[in-house]
Structure 1
């Protein structure tokens, strides 16, 4: 407002000076006023120079304001998101890993699986003595039962993580909607992707536990079939063979 008033005053002065120049064109170029020399032309030029200087200053002020606005926007874009869900997501992943690490009997290890199948599910494990075959059959049953129990525990753990995932998602969505800059929005998006990765990890663990239980149960059934064939072979190869006879079910 002050700048506009000053501009108007300068312009009015220029116009007034121009009028004075036109009126006094017939008078001498220089006049004495109490000993002071007054040159209307020089005065008008000074007024115009001052107006141009003022315009330049205003332009510089506008540039500075634009730069300040740009710096403020850049600062907002570089501001870090105040909300972090990393620790909570890591804890949920660790809980699922602990459940997988507590697998009974046959663990999630290639060498452990290979050794267990060699000892109980194939080869000599199905053709030993009757006592060994009974012991191996009982061990295979325990493997299956333990695997199903492990799968249920992993399922319970994954279900327990759902509530934490919901809380984390609410916080991230709220932070994303209130983000003041590009960096905060990007960080919120990255954390949402991390949450999705954690849920995928839970799903992978759940499928692994269920697949382990189903595979062990299928392997147990296959071992039972092989063991049954071995028992039948032994029965048929007895020296005396099968001798039919009369059976009396009731006594008089």
Structure 2
């Protein structure tokens, strides 16, 4: 077939197609275009692109999950980090110092049995009705008890006042550490140490009040013993007359 003949046949086919349908019918959606033996399918290409996009989205989601887990681990590590400072040693030293001052109480210790023995021997009963020499000795002993208790109270008060500067330093340290705490554990530990500091201050206050109360009680007991002894002396004086 000559080129002219082939051209005529193609034109006839086109005319025939136009005459049958009135329009030129395009090739199907899955039409393939070949070039040099390579076949291109638009539908298959779109499906592959969609699958790749979904796979990429899953990978991004996994990366986000890993990042969230890493952040959570970092936060947990911060929450488990201990407070870098501690004032417990200082607080314990202050408490021990106050206890030592209390244990050095003169003549009458902070002990129920010691108090009972002292009052039985110098403040009541036969201690107020002995002979003149015994009464004088007991009166002098009671005076020494009162003076010793007053001295003890002053020493305890001095020790408590001496702890104030150290307490202020501890408060500043703990408040600063609490404000800069990196996590929950450090903040809790700072709070616990502040509570321990408060307990130490209450212990000092209790010791000072106890020492002062002891001195006042012994002084009041001494006054009562002096009054009882004076009555006994007056009774003896009247008996002689």
TM-score, with structure 1 as normaliser: 0.83
CA contact (8 A) 2:85 2:177 kept: yes
Q: Residue 34 of structure 1 aligns with which residue?
A: 36
Change (3 A) 1:206 1:48: same
For residue 124 of structure 1, the aligned residue among 118, 123, 126 is: 126
**1:173: which partner in 2?**
175
Q: Aligned match of 1:51 in 43, 50, 53?
A: 53
Structure 1 residue 38, shift from structure 2 partner? 2.6
> Counterpart in 1 of 2:150?
148
Asked if structure 1 preserves the Cα contact closer than 8 Å seen for 2:30 and 2:41, the reply is no
Per the alignment, residue 219 of structure 2 pairs with 217
Match of 2:73 in 1: 71
1:30 is displaced (CA, Å) by 3.4
Specify the structure having the higher radius of gyration (Cα): 2
1:229 to 1:58, Cα distance in 2 relative to 1, 3 A? same
Deviation at 1:186, TM superposition (A): 1.0
Q: After TM superposition, give the deviation of residue 66 of structure 1 in Å.
A: 1.2
Alignment-derived partner of residue 8 in structure 1: none
How has the CA–CA distance of structure 1 residues 92 and 25 changed in structure 2, closer, same or farther, with 3 Å as cutoff?
A: farther
Partner of 1:208: 210
CA distance in 2, matches of 1:168, 1:138: 45
- 1:73-127 deviation per Cα after TM superposition (whole angstroms, max 9, x unaligned): 1111111101101000000000000000000000000000000000000000000
Gaps in structure 1 of 5+ consecutive residues: 1-23, 242-252
Change (3 A) 1:28 1:43: closer
- Post-superposition Cα deviations, 1:126-160, rounded to whole Å, max 9, x if no partner, equal 00111000000000000000000000000110000
2:98, 2:156 within 8 Å by CA — same for their partners in 1? yes
Corresponding position of 1:11: none
Quote the Cα distance in structure 2 between the aligned partners of 1:173 and 1:42. Answer: 68
Match of 2:187 in 1: 185
2:149 counterpart SS class: helix
Q: How many residues align?
A: 216
Hey, what does 2:161 align to over in structure 1? 159
